[in-house]
Amino acid sequence: MKSSPIPTSRPADRLPRDRRIDLCYVIGILLVVAGHSGVDSRFASTALFRWIYAFHMPLFFALSGYLFRYGGGSGQVGAGTFARRRALRLLLPLVVWTTLVFIPKGLLSAYAMRPSELSFSAYLHAFLYPADNPIRPFWFLEVLFEVSLAGYAVDRIVRSRPAALAAVAGTCIAANRLIAPTGGELLMLPDVLWYTGFFLLGAVACDGRTWLWPRLARPSSLVFWGAASLVTLRFPSHAAAPFYAAAGILFVASCAALAVDRRLRLPLADDLRRYTFTVYLLHVLPVGLLRGLLYPRLAVDPALFSALLFLSGVLIPWAVGRMARRWIPSFTAGGRLSLRLLGL
């Protein structure tokens, strides 16, 4: 059965799936949609927003690094093949969806939270400065491509030695903290440093998985890392951000490990895992349209409308993915392209 995750490097036909990682992805994508479900700029000052944004994106890069190592790391495939696969998985949907959305968003700029100019220079700018992409969450696709290449190169240079990977990860994260990026830099290169650190730490965690997972499956670990992740709400700190991110990642991993250890049946979560990348690619469309066109015309409580945005951002792409998997043929070139653009 073909899966549709947030992009990874694991050859699914060679290794057994790790349900703990699958559940981490499901929790992560729910956090992503929740973080994008605010109705206005005031949402950014809420405790929920600050907690989610302390760790949810480092989580995905750590998971990608984990699966990179789980699939054999740089020794599994040549550099050219690896880059081509990552480009098809990440850059192809980035370019196609950005192009499809660019013109209508420019025409409807007056209704958007982030107005955009309709010009070729603005179109080119969206790729050179990923934070300004008309589909703002798509910065992740471009940065993950960069981070994947950087992680591959580091893994090859240090010959996959965990201690060396951890040292490079710490250096990357420390360098990012010294630079204090704004997110608006060319190719988001300072952010690439930050996320490369978590990618490499994910690879190190994979090497130590037989020690790590049993400890994360303890209820005490869940409580400890959950409480640690909440410290960011009381003591926000630029310097301490790596520790808050790590606490949040370990909290999510502990939730997943405990669920698997207790053999919880979570059929909806298991099914959603097949469509997490689809949800990531498509959730901005229903969320953006409802927020931009419907919310200003309704006298609705912001919290209630945010809940509606969250549900639409999860359920509509999930349904689209299920229908596409059922109705789009995978044996034709056009069908395969369509499925790839939908994250399937």
pLDDT, residue 116, reads 66
CB 18, CB 67: distance < 8 Å: no
Of 33, 114, 30, nearest to 306 by C-alpha is: 33
Of 43, 54, 61, 23, nearest to 140 by C-alpha is: 61
Rounded to whole angstroms, the Cα distance separating 128 from 254 reads: 37
Sign, Cα dihedral of 135, 65, 227, 209: positive
Sign, Cα dihedral of 106, 110, 112, 113: positive
Q: Which pTM value belongs to this model?
A: 0.91
Rounded to whole angstroms, the Cα distance separating 203 from 191 reads: 19
User: Residues with Cβ < 8 Å from 120, sequence gap 6 or more?
Assistant: none
User: Residues with Cβ < 8 Å from 105, sequence gap 6 or more?
Assistant: 112, 116, 134
- Three-class SS state of 220: helix
pLDDT, residue 245, reads 96
Determine what percent of the chain is predicted with pLDDT higher than 90: 69
Gyration radius from the chain CA atoms: 20
pLDDT, residue 246, reads 96
What are the pLDDT digits (tens) for 128-180?
999 988 888 999 999 999 999 999 999 999 988 999 999 999 999 999 999 87
Residue 107: pLDDT above 70? no
Residue with the larger pLDDT of the pair 12 and 58 = 58
Rounded to whole angstroms, the Cα distance separating 3 from 289 reads: 28
293 CB-contact burial (10 Å; exposed 0-12 / middle 13-18 / buried 19+)? exposed
pLDDT, residue 37, reads 93
Determine what percent of the chain is predicted with pLDDT higher than 70: 92
Angle at alpha carbon of residue 88, lines to 25 and 170, rounded to 5° = 55
Rounded to whole angstroms, the Cα distance separating 147 from 196 reads: 5
What the block records as the tokens of 259 is: 């669920």
Helix axis angle for 209-216 and 241-261, nearest 10°, is 80
**Backbone φ/ψ region at 180: left (φ over 0), alpha (ψ -120 to 50), beta:** left
pLDDT, residue 113, reads 55
What are the pLDDT digits (tens) for 227-244?
999 998 888 888 899 999
Rounded to whole angstroms, the Cα distance separating 225 from 246 reads: 9
Residue 205: pLDDT above 60? yes
pLDDT, residue 296, reads 83
247: part of which helix (H) or strand (E)?
A: helix 241-261
Mean pLDDT is lowest, of 170-179, 181-190, 252-261, 302-311, for 181-190
Rounded to whole angstroms, the Cα distance separating 67 from 71 reads: 6
196 CB-contact burial (10 Å; exposed 0-12 / middle 13-18 / buried 19+)? buried
Q: Could you give phi then psi for residue 74, rounded to 5 degrees?
A: -70, -15
CB 56, CB 238: distance < 8 Å: no
